[in-house]
Chains A and B, each alone.
Chain A
Amino acid sequence: MRRLCIRTLSTRLSLLFAGLFAAVMLSVSVLLFAMVERIARVEVEQQLVTSGAVYDRLWQQRSDQMQDAAQLLARDFGFRAAVATGDQATAASALDNLKRRLNADLAAVVGVDGSVHGNLSPAKRQDLAGLWDSLDAGRMSGVARIDGHAKQIVAAPILTPVLTGWVLFASDLDAGEMRSLEKLSAIPLHAGVIVKQDGQWSRVAGSFMLSDGAASRQIDASLTGHHGFDLDLAGERSIAVAKQLPTIGDGAPAALLLFYPRAEAMAAYRPLQWAVALLGLMGIAVVILASWRAARRISEPLSRLDVAAGRLAHGDYTKVAVAGEDELARLATSFNHMAHEIEERERRITHLAFNDVLTGLSNRTMFHEHLNYQLRAKPAGRDVLALFCLDLDRFKAINDTLGHSLGDALLIEIGSRLKDVAEGCFVARLGGDEFVVVQPLSGDRGEIDRLAEAILEAIRQPLHVDGNDIIPSTSVGIAIAPDDGNDLDTLLRNADLALYRAKGEGRGIYSFFEESLNEKAQTRRVIESDLRAAIERGEFELHFQPLFDLKLNRIGSFEALLRWNHPTRGLVAPHEFIPIAEDTGMIVAIGAWAMREACRQASEWPDYIRVAVNVSPVQFHRPGLNQVILSALALSGLAPNRLEIEITESIFLDGSEETLKALHVLRSLGIRIALDDFGTGYSSLSYLQKFPFDKLKIDQSFIQALLVRPGATAVIRAITDLATALGMETTAEGVEETLQLRELEMHGCSSIQGFLFSKPVHASEISALLGNGTQLDSRIQATAVASEKQPLPRRAHK
């Protein structure tokens, strides 16, 4: 079975059933054949035994008949007288007479004295004389060999009244005799007489040849056991029975051999055997057919299922025809159900894999697929497509302040609007508030502008969600393939750069990618890598700008300002590298350094002068800020109340309890907390309620507006009043003119900072600054004198 690989169930079942049936049939046949053989054999043996008995009786009858005749003669007074008186002629004639009547072959008188009388050849005479002992012993019949021929001999004693001799008749046991015996039998058996000489049986009458010693041994066994045996006669197998015959004379055993060729014995059963064999074959054929059909009924639905399962594996969701209500039908139904479920699930998975769950738009993966496909498929050399990158303006603020569910609703609405407005284009949401639109181009660049404007217009429509009126806006960056990039990454990056520019240029607009954007990005990357080295190489230094305390009329503190002396670029403006440092997280290390350096410097100043250090929101959102501050204080020996940390309200945007907790911890140590750039951004008053700042630093835009915009004074007034009410100090930033100073003084501002008093100075200049003129007025005058009528130089940063 292993070598002959049977692949189908039906074949296997058919073979199994057929094999089993064949085995049973074979066993039955073998049994039947054996039984038939045995029955035939028993029957033949029976026949042979019966024939043997018949022959016995015949033999006896014949013997008796001959003996009767012999006795009659032996008792005939005249014959006895003739024998007794030696009247040979009379005796011989009487013998002949009876011989003819008996149809015997030989008649003689054997005298008690051993003489033999009769018309006999010398050889016969001699053989007959040899019978004397047997006759004398009283054996009156038997087989003897006379002159080489087997003869049945009978004798009768001649009593005169003493035993004078024996009358003796013999008849031949020749082939003819055997044939007549064979005719008497019910079955066409063969008969023969055998005698044993020198241990070997040999034929003396009958038409057969005894071949070998084996036959002789079998005959011996049969004679003693009285059973039939198989006899090989010249290659023909026969069933034989041997019967001992009485012998007379030399005593050589004689036997009647009756046999029947097996082939003839079995011939009667041949039709039966053929019928059995034929029935067996027919049975096997029927079983094969039936089991094949039965197996097919099982295996056909199975193979259909097999095929369907194979197709299913390749994603072909074919159904299997269901017939009937059996287990296979139920299996097929289940299979169909399963296939349907798998199809459904796969469809869902595929959808999830390629679609954004929230908006139902394509997702980033799908976008990649689509764009790659479009870029590959379209011929080069002409404009192929425009990639629009969209980013909702201030989405983060909306999400944070109005909640995620509203943010989600907004995203869904934006997605829907984009789909509507960008008909025929591919729209996807890449994540967060990032959307992309892929516009196929047909040559007219104007259509890009039209679509961009349409998008901006569509997004701009007010939206009413959960009782909130939102006016969304988006910035759009556009890159065109193949000009702005021939592969997905480049194209996407360039569209992003364009998007940044759009955002940078005021939001709510669209911007095309230009190569210069790429250069800016390049510059940014260079700065990024230089920044890393800058910390190690000590390229940073701190400059300090004094904050003049108007109440005490002296410098109250210095704000530490970071400067980067780039080895090739020279002094790099903070606004050029601080955002990058914040984006990359390097601000954490830079900030830590600034903190340590500021504290170290401040520790050399007079005790009443504090140092203010800016802390980025990024620093707040990373762990370890408190440790940095505490270690800076510890290393410098600066009293905590001489350290002022300046934060912007943006740290509250991601606004968690964690930030507040950190601030409280710092404040509990005695460190002062100032809110920088107050008045810009959202300026939520709730912060002021949440946290007791030590100081509000009023953004310079308000200060600049003081002399320009009416009502600005009122704002300053409101802020200082508010701060005073909450017990906070106020610092006005960017004070450049004396008029501004006067206004601020008038409205109760605590301190000022700006070029009017001093620009940021190097640490080494601080002692000089403190020594020469701590008085504001003299400082202002000195400055005024120094600058004559020229306006004060605008501060670079703060």
Chain B
Amino acid sequence: MRQLAAAYLLLISASPALGGTLVVRVVDPAGRPVDDAVVTIEPVGRPAKPALRAGPYRVEQRDMVFHPFVSVVPVGAMVAFPNFDATRHHVYSFSPAKRFELKLFARDQSRSVRFDKAGIIAIGCNIHDRMSAFLFVTNNGWAQRAERGTTMFRDAPSGPSKITVWHPFLRTPSSTVSRTLPLGEGSRAETFVVRLRAPPLHGMDGY
């Protein structure tokens, strides 16, 4: 996956239509890097860079946890849900962009789902409430997961652009914060300070 991303980034950086470099940092009010945020750039009044379908995309169920927790996938991508646990899982999503149920996977069984609509897909396991994962399904090629709070856009567009940070627990009604910046050539760094709500099951061990 990292290799894929690297290839993808390499591909973008080669594009002549692209501007400078944008580094976006996402931190909490204490200054600690926030994991699993997704940063998107939307040039104002212009189309975004189309997302390239790469793959394969997988969300594994291992040790009662979905891996990865947040994935950015292009619209129309097939995502596999392989089960590496001894238990069964009942993977579901009620998200409007894609509703699905994958019942009772046996160990090492993998089933795939195609996500053909952009949107955020919240994925849970009906058997294990603690299991949770998110798919950020988008057409925008400038959408990246910020690992350890940082992500770099090497081909950030020039001109005014809306930079949006999404995180599943971000404490706004839309779970996003955004900022419109006049991006230009060269590199630029932006820091987003975000406040996260506690994970829904945090402190709810009684469930």
Q: Nearest Cβ in chain A — how far from B113, in angstroms? A: 16
CA distance in complex: A161, B169 (Å): 12
Do A161 and B131 form a contact, CB below 8 Å, given A75-B207, A77-B126, A138-B203? yes
Stretch from B32-40, B46-54, B193-201 forming part of the interface with A: B193-201
Interface status of B168 (Cβ within 8 A of chain A): yes
Q: Which residue of B lies closest to A158 (CB)?
A: B200
CA distance in complex: A77, B132 (Å): 15
User: Given A81, A113, A161, A164, which contacts B132 in the complex, CB threshold below 8 Å?
Assistant: A161
User: Given A80, A113, A136, which contacts B94 in the complex, CB threshold below 8 Å?
Assistant: A80
Q: Give the size category of B's interface with A.
A: 20 to 34
CA distance in complex: A89, B202 (Å): 30
Interface status of B129 (Cβ within 8 A of chain A): yes
CA distance in complex: A80, B94 (Å): 8
Interface status of B99 (Cβ within 8 A of chain A): yes
| Residue interface bits A147-191, CB-to-B below 8 A is 1, else 0 | 000000000010111111000000000000000000000000000
Please indicate the chain A residues that have their CB under 8 angstroms from the CB of B95 in the complex. 84, 160
Q: Nearest Cβ in chain B — how far from A679, in angstroms? A: 167
Do A161 and B173 form a contact, CB below 8 Å, given A75-B129, A80-B94? no
With most chain B CB atoms within 10 A of its CB, the pick from A75, A77, A157, A162 is A162
Number of A-B pairs whose CB atoms are under 8 Å? 46
Please indicate the chain B residues that have their CB under 8 angstroms from the CB of A136 in the complex. 171, 197
Determine whether the beta carbon of B94 is less than 8 Å from that of A159: no
Please indicate the chain B residues that have their CB under 8 angstroms from the CB of A161 in the complex. 122-125, 129, 131-132, 200
Determine whether the beta carbon of A159 is less than 8 Å from that of B197: no
CA distance in complex: A161, B122 (Å): 6
User: Given B99, B168, B171, B173, which contacts A85 in the complex, CB threshold below 8 Å?
Assistant: B99
In the complex, which residues 106-154 of chain B have their Cβ closer than 8 Å to any Cβ of chain A? 122-126, 129, 131-132, 134
CA distance in complex: A19, B198 (Å): 76
Do A159 and B200 form a contact, CB below 8 Å, given A71-B207, A75-B129, A84-B94? yes
Interface status of A112 (Cβ within 8 A of chain B): yes
In the complex, which residues 682-711 of chain A have their Cβ closer than 8 Å to any Cβ of chain B? none
Please indicate the chain B residues that have their CB under 8 angstroms from the CB of A157 in the complex. 200, 204
Please indicate the chain B residues that have their CB under 8 angstroms from the CB of A80 in the complex. 94
CA distance in complex: A205, B126 (Å): 41
Q: Nearest Cβ in chain B — how far from A457, in angstroms? A: 154
Q: Nearest Cβ in chain B — how far from A647, in angstroms? A: 158
Determine whether the beta carbon of B99 is less than 8 Å from that of A159: no
CA distance in complex: A231, B109 (Å): 70
Determine whether the beta carbon of A162 is less than 8 Å from that of B168: yes
Please indicate the chain A residues that have their CB under 8 angstroms from the CB of B200 in the complex. 157, 159, 161-163
Please indicate the chain A residues that have their CB under 8 angstroms from the CB of B134 in the complex. 162
Please indicate the chain B residues that have their CB under 8 angstroms from the CB of A77 in the complex. 92, 126
Q: Which residue of B lies closest to A77 (CB)?
A: B126
CA distance in complex: A550, B197 (Å): 185
Q: Which residue of B lies closest to A112 (CB)?
A: B173
CA distance in complex: A444, B92 (Å): 173
Interface status of A114 (Cβ within 8 A of chain B): yes
CA distance in complex: A163, B122 (Å): 10
Main secondary structure of the interface of A (DSSP, over half): mixed
CA distance in complex: A85, B95 (Å): 8
Determine whether the beta carbon of A114 is less than 8 Å from that of B173: yes
CA distance in complex: A159, B198 (Å): 13
Please indicate the chain B residues that have their CB under 8 angstroms from the CB of A112 in the complex. 173
User: What is the total number of residues of chain A having a CB less than 8 Å from a CB of chain B?
Assistant: 19
Q: Which residue of A lies closest to B94 (CB)?
A: A84
Please indicate the chain A residues that have their CB under 8 angstroms from the CB of B123 in the complex. 161
Please indicate the chain B residues that have their CB under 8 angstroms from the CB of A71 in the complex. 206-207
CA distance in complex: A160, B92 (Å): 9
In the complex, which residues 65-96 of chain B have their Cβ closer than 8 Å to any Cβ of chain A? 92, 94-95
Determine whether the beta carbon of A162 is less than 8 Å from that of B122: yes
CA distance in complex: A322, B98 (Å): 127
Please indicate the chain B residues that have their CB under 8 angstroms from the CB of A81 in the complex. 94
Please indicate the chain A residues that have their CB under 8 angstroms from the CB of B206 in the complex. 71
Determine whether the beta carbon of A160 is less than 8 Å from that of B197: no
Determine whether the beta carbon of A159 is less than 8 Å from that of B173: no
Determine whether the beta carbon of A85 is less than 8 Å from that of B203: no
Please indicate the chain A residues that have their CB under 8 angstroms from the CB of B125 in the complex. 161
Please indicate the chain A residues that have their CB under 8 angstroms from the CB of B198 in the complex. 138
CA distance in complex: A81, B204 (Å): 21
Please indicate the chain A residues that have their CB under 8 angstroms from the CB of B94 in the complex. 80-81, 84-85, 160, 164
Please indicate the chain A residues that have their CB under 8 angstroms from the CB of B99 in the complex. 85
With most chain B CB atoms within 10 A of its CB, the pick from A85, A136, A138, A161 is A161
Q: Which residue of B lies closest to A162 (CB)?
A: B122
Q: Which residue of B lies closest to A111 (CB)?
A: B173
CA distance in complex: A25, B125 (Å): 80
CA distance in complex: A159, B133 (Å): 12
With most chain A CB atoms within 10 A of its CB, the pick from B94, B168, B173, B203 is B94
Q: Nearest Cβ in chain A — how far from B175, in angstroms? A: 8
CA distance in complex: A81, B122 (Å): 13
CA distance in complex: A136, B198 (Å): 9
Please indicate the chain B residues that have their CB under 8 angstroms from the CB of A163 in the complex. 197, 200
Please indicate the chain A residues that have their CB under 8 angstroms from the CB of B129 in the complex. 75, 159, 161
Q: Which residue of B lies closest to A140 (CB)?
A: B204
Q: Nearest Cβ in chain B — how far from A9, in angstroms? A: 86
Determine whether the beta carbon of B132 is less than 8 Å from that of A162: yes
User: Given A113, A159, A160, A164, which contacts B201 in the complex, CB threshold below 8 Å?
Assistant: A159
Q: Which residue of B lies closest to A164 (CB)?
A: B94
CA distance in complex: A157, B198 (Å): 12
Q: Nearest Cβ in chain B — how far from A60, in angstroms? A: 13
CA distance in complex: A27, B92 (Å): 80
Q: Which residue of B lies closest to A71 (CB)?
A: B207
Q: Nearest Cβ in chain A — how far from B52, in angstroms? A: 27
CA distance in complex: A84, B171 (Å): 20
Please indicate the chain B residues that have their CB under 8 angstroms from the CB of A113 in the complex. 173
Q: Nearest Cβ in chain B — how far from A109, in angstroms? A: 14
Q: Nearest Cβ in chain A — how far from B129, in angstroms? A: 7
Please indicate the chain B residues that have their CB under 8 angstroms from the CB of A84 in the complex. 94-95
CA distance in complex: A176, B140 (Å): 60
In the complex, which residues 174-197 of chain B have their Cβ closer than 8 Å to any Cβ of chain A? 197
| Residue interface bits A131-145, CB-to-B below 8 A is 1, else 0 | 000001010000000
Please indicate the chain A residues that have their CB under 8 angstroms from the CB of B201 in the complex. 159
| Residue interface bits A787-798, CB-to-B below 8 A is 1, else 0 | 000000000000
Q: Nearest Cβ in chain A — how far from B94, in angstroms? A: 3
Q: Nearest Cβ in chain B — how far from A87, in angstroms? A: 10
Q: Nearest Cβ in chain A — how far from B80, in angstroms? A: 19
Q: Which residue of B lies closest to A68 (CB)?
A: B206
Q: Nearest Cβ in chain A — how far from B137, in angstroms? A: 15
8 contacts between A and B (CB under 8 A): A71-B207, A77-B126, A84-B94, A84-B95, A114-B173, A136-B171, A160-B94, A160-B95
Among all A-B residue pairs, the 5 with the closest Cβ atoms: A161-B124, A84-B94, A162-B122, A161-B132, A163-B200
Name B residues whose Cβ lies closer than 8 Å to a Cβ of A: 92, 94-95, 99, 122-126, 129, 131-132, 134, 168, 171, 173, 197-198, 200-201, 203-204, 206-207
Kindly list 16 other residue pairs between chains A and B, CB separation below 8 angstroms, not including A75-B129, A136-B171.
Answer: A71-B206, A71-B207, A81-B94, A84-B94, A85-B99, A138-B203, A160-B95, A160-B124, A161-B123, A161-B125, A161-B129, A161-B131, A161-B200, A162-B132, A163-B197, A163-B200
Name A residues whose Cβ lies closer than 8 Å to a Cβ of B: 71, 75, 77, 80-81, 84-85, 112-114, 136, 138, 157, 159-164
